[in-house]
Chain A
Amino acid sequence: MALNNIWVFAQVANGAPTTGTLELLTKARSLGGTVSAFVGSDGAAVAATLGEYGATTVYATGDLGGKLPGVAVSSAMKAVIDGGNAPDLIIFPQSYEGRDVVSRLSVKLDRTVLTNNIDIAIDGDSVNATTPVFGGNVLVTTGFTGSGPHLAAFRPKSFAAESAGGAAAAVVAAPVPDLGATGGATVTAVHVEETSGPKLDEANIVVSGGRGLGEAANYEMIEQLAKLLKGAPGASRAIVDAGWVPYSYQVGQTGKVVKPSVYLAAGISGATQHMVGMKGSKNIIAINKDKEAPIFGIADLGIVGDVHKVLPKLIEALKGRS
C-alpha cells in the first residue's frame, strides 16, 4: 500500500528538534508521499529545521501552558484528523512524550500501536514494523491489519538523520481543544539535571557500572574512568533502582540507547533489559567475575575478573598517560 501522507511527532528540546525527530523525518521521506511534522509547541522556531529534513508542513499546537504532551498533543492531532486531514501513518520517537502521545491517540482513533520498533517497511499491501525481542537476539516483524492511520514508535538511533536540503515547512495552527477531566495534570516546575562531559547518548565512549561494583561509593571509579576517556558514565537498571545513580544514567530498554565507539561494562552481567540499550556499540569491553555472564557473549574483549582489582589498575595506567 502506498503511504501518501505521513506525520512525524516532532519533539523539541532547548528550542530545536531532537536528533530522534530528525531520524524519523529522514525515514518518513524514504517511505514516499508527503511528510508533515506535528509539534506540541510553537512552530515558527522549528519550521526551518523540520523543513530541511523533509517536512513540508508543521502542525503546531503552540505553547501547551503546562499541560502534559500526551493528552494535549493527541487531542490536537485528533482534531486535525477529524477535520479531514487524516494521514496514513504517524510515527513517534520511543521517548516519554512519544509514548504518552501515541498511547492516548490509539484510544481516540481506536487503532493498535506498535512500539519499540527499529525499522518499518512497505511490503505489498501491508505496512510492517520490526522490533527486537529477547535482548535483541530475535527480530519480530508485525504488520498492521486494520485501516489507518497506523501508529508506530521507534527506538532512538534506529535510522540515520540526513538533511534533504528542503525549504522551511509551512506552519499550520493545530490548537489543543478543551481537555475536560483528562487535562487535570499540570506541570508546575521543570528541573534539569546538569551533567558535565558529553551526553550519555551522544558520547563516543561510555563506561557503565552495575551491581558487581558492590556498593554505591564504588561508582566513583566509573565516573573517574569515564572522565579519563573523555566519555560518559552509564549504569545498569539494577543500580539505578537501588538508588546509587539517577535514572538519567540508565542504559537499556527503559533507559538510554547508546551506540558509542567503545562501551565498557564493569560489573554488569548483561540482562536483556541492559543489552538492548548497548548492543549496537561498535566495540564492547566487559569486566565481570562470572565467566558465564551473558555480557561475555557480545564482548569483543572480556575480562573474567574482579572489577575492584581491574578498575583501579586501569585508572592508574590511564592517568599515567594523560
Chain B
Amino acid sequence: MNVIVCVKQIPDPATPGALDPSTNTLKRDGKLILDESDSYGVEMALQLVDAAGGGEVSLISMAPNGEVSGMRTALAMGAAKGVLISDPALLGSDALTTAKVLAAAVQRLGGADLIIAATESSDGYTGTVPEQLAEVLGLASVTFAKKVTITGGTLEAHRQTEEGYDEVTCALPAVISVTAGVVEPRYPSFKGIMAAKSKPVEQVTAADLGITPVGWAGSGQAVVSVTQAEARAAGEIIEDDGETFTKIVAFLENLKVI
C-alpha cells in the first residue's frame, strides 16, 4: 500500500510569529521545521504501510526557498521520498491554490491508496486544504480522524464530531485528515537521520505541475488592514504564600458566583 503524506514546513512555533509588513503574509524566511501536527500523519502512514506488509510512504510539501529541513525529519522517521514544490511565484497563494498544487504533486507521484494530512497547520490554520485536496482529486474523504484501520481496500475511522465521534467506513483511494494524538510519533533514529540525507526529494515549480495562475494572481483575497486588538487591562499578579486560595475565594465572592 502506498501512502502520501502532506507535510508543512513552518517557522518554529517557539519563536513569536510576525507578519511581513510589505506583503501582510506570515514571515517564513527563517529556518523552517516540520509542523508537529504533521508528525502524526507521517507516523500513521508508516504504521499503515507496515501493517499492509508492503508499499512506501511519500511526502509532498510546498515551501519557499527550496526548504527541505522539515521534510528530512519526516524522511528520517521512515518516509521513502518526497516532492517539494518551491517557487517564488507561489507567495501569496490562498488555500485553494495550495490544494490545487498539492493535488498536482499527488498525481506527479502517480497517486496513492491513501493521502494523509493534518486537520490544519499550526501557523496559518485555514483548515480547508485536506477537504479541498480531496475535491480537486475527485476522491472521498474522512476528516478529523482520530483512529484509523485499513482492511483490504476499506478504511475504517473514528471521526471526531461536536458531540462525540462517528464510525465511518470509506473505500480507497481516499484522503483523510488526522487529529493530533492519533498515534505516538516516533523519534528519528541516528540511522534514520543518516539515511534521510540521501533519500530523493524532487524539487518542482508550479509551472512544472501545470498550475497557473498561482500566488497573488491566483488568490481571490487581499488583506485590507492589520490592526492591534484591544488589549485586556493588566490584572493583579501575586506570588503564592500558601494563602492565595483565599484571594481566589474573595474574587469569586465579589463576582457573586459563589
Q: Could you tell me if B162 and A184 are in contact, using CB atoms closer than 8 angstroms?
A: no
Q: Which residues of B contact A65 (CB under 8 A)?
A: none
Q: Which residues of B contact A303 (CB under 8 A)?
A: 238, 240, 244, 247-248
Verify if A318 is at the interface (C-beta below 8 Å from B).
Answer: yes
Interface members, chain A 48-107 (any B CB < 8 Å) = 68, 70-71, 74, 95-96, 99-100, 102-104, 106-107
Take A107-B136, A189-B167 as given contacts and tell me if A100 and B242 are in contact as well, using a CB distance cutoff of 8 Å.
no
* Per-residue contact bits, chain A 112-149, to B (CB 8 Å; 1 contact, 0 not): 11111000000100101000111011111111111000
Q: Could you tell me if A139 and B240 are in contact, using CB atoms closer than 8 angstroms?
A: no
Min CB–CB distance A21 → chain B (angstroms): 12
Q: Could you tell me if A134 and B257 are in contact, using CB atoms closer than 8 angstroms?
A: no
| Contact pick for B170, options A116, A185, A300, CB 8 Å | A185
CA distance A116 to B128 in the complex (A): 11
Verify if A204 is at the interface (C-beta below 8 Å from B).
Answer: yes
Verify if A221 is at the interface (C-beta below 8 Å from B).
Answer: no
Q: Which residues of A contact B170 (CB under 8 A)?
A: 184-186
Q: Which residue of B lies closest to A140 (CB)?
A: B226
Take A99-B131, A107-B96, A304-B237 as given contacts and tell me if A137 and B229 are in contact as well, using a CB distance cutoff of 8 Å.
yes
Q: Could you tell me if A106 and B96 are in contact, using CB atoms closer than 8 angstroms?
A: yes
Verify if A188 is at the interface (C-beta below 8 Å from B).
Answer: yes
| Contact pick for B248, options A180, A186, A285, CB 8 Å | A285
Q: Could you tell me if A314 and B161 are in contact, using CB atoms closer than 8 angstroms?
A: no
Q: Interface-forming stretch among B3-11, B138-146, B186-194, B198-206?
A: B138-146
Q: Could you tell me if A141 and B19 are in contact, using CB atoms closer than 8 angstroms?
A: no
Min CB–CB distance A259 → chain B (angstroms): 13
Take A107-B96, A107-B136 as given contacts and tell me if A229 and B224 are in contact as well, using a CB distance cutoff of 8 Å.
no
Q: Which residues of A contact B249 (CB under 8 A)?
A: 314, 317-318
**Measuring CB to CB, which residues of chain B are less than 8 angstroms from any residue of chain A?**
16-17, 19, 24, 94-96, 99, 119-120, 122, 125-132, 134-136, 138-144, 146, 159-171, 174, 179-181, 219-229, 231-232, 234-240, 242, 244-249, 251-252, 255, 257-258
